[in-house]
Copies of this chain bind each other. A is one copy, B any other.
Amino acid sequence: MEAFKVIQIKESVFADNNRQADRIREELRRTGTFLLNLMSSPGSGKTSTVLRTIAALQNELRMGIIEADIDSDVDASAVARTGTPVLQLHTGGMCHMDANMTRQGLDELSSDPLDLVILENIGNLLCPAEFDTGAVKNAMILSVPEGDDKPLKYPLMFSKVDVLLINKIDTLAMFDFDLQAVSQRVRKLNPEILILPISAKTGEGIQAWVDWLRQSVQQWKQTQ
């Protein structure tokens, strides 16, 4: 009676993860599906951000969500309540998603064509940064309570993503978090990155994020 499927995925047997990832992108190009890989620490607000994104875009785009977790399906349950197709992947202890695992997710998610799929990766700032999932774009969330020193400690993740969402900005007054310092640290690693401050709780800044996403989906469809 679950409103979504739960599957156990297996790690890639392909040595060449990058080749697999490129193949996924080729297929996504043909079907006009934009895949976003969303990464962060545990508890930065990936699911809340996904829920805000669904609320803003579900009437104009055909969306689907892949939730990757070691265990549990609390995130998929939350998404399922919106009526958006969602799949829960259990990685059985693995700390990242790779291209083959993503393919298993895409294959199971929906038989109908989709415009936008969001892959909510495992909560981890390390291993997920090392594997190309086949996504068209990569985004990460850093939340204010985590601190503004994170780009110094996890440089690979910050250097790999197209967009950085700085979440929980409604709590800026509670924490020592210097938005300007964090932006400078991130741009040093990744000059092209788009940095968007948001609050998934209050909705602040979500419009700019959704606008970027809508535009990225349209641009991707034009490459078909």
Contacts and interface: CB of A to CB of B under 8 A. Distances in A.
Copies of this chain per assembly? 2
Contact of A93 (B95, B156, B168, B174): B156
A133 B152 CA distance: 25
- Among A41, A126, A144, A174, find the residue whose CB has the most chain B CB atoms closer than 10 A: A126
A149 to B, nearest CB: 5
Interface stretch (A29-37, A70-78, A106-114, A212-220): A70-78
A71 B152 contact: yes
A72 B152 contact: yes
A123 interface: yes
Contacts of A146: 41-43, 145
A145 B127 contact: no
A171 interface: yes
B145 A74 contact: no
Nearest to A143: B145
Nearest to A167: B145
A147 B174 CA distance: 16
Contacts of A171: 145, 171, 174-175
Contact of A153 (B74, B95, B168, B174): B74
Considering the complex of A and B, which 3 residue pairs feature the smallest CB-CB distances, nearest first? A43-B146, A145-B145, A72-B152
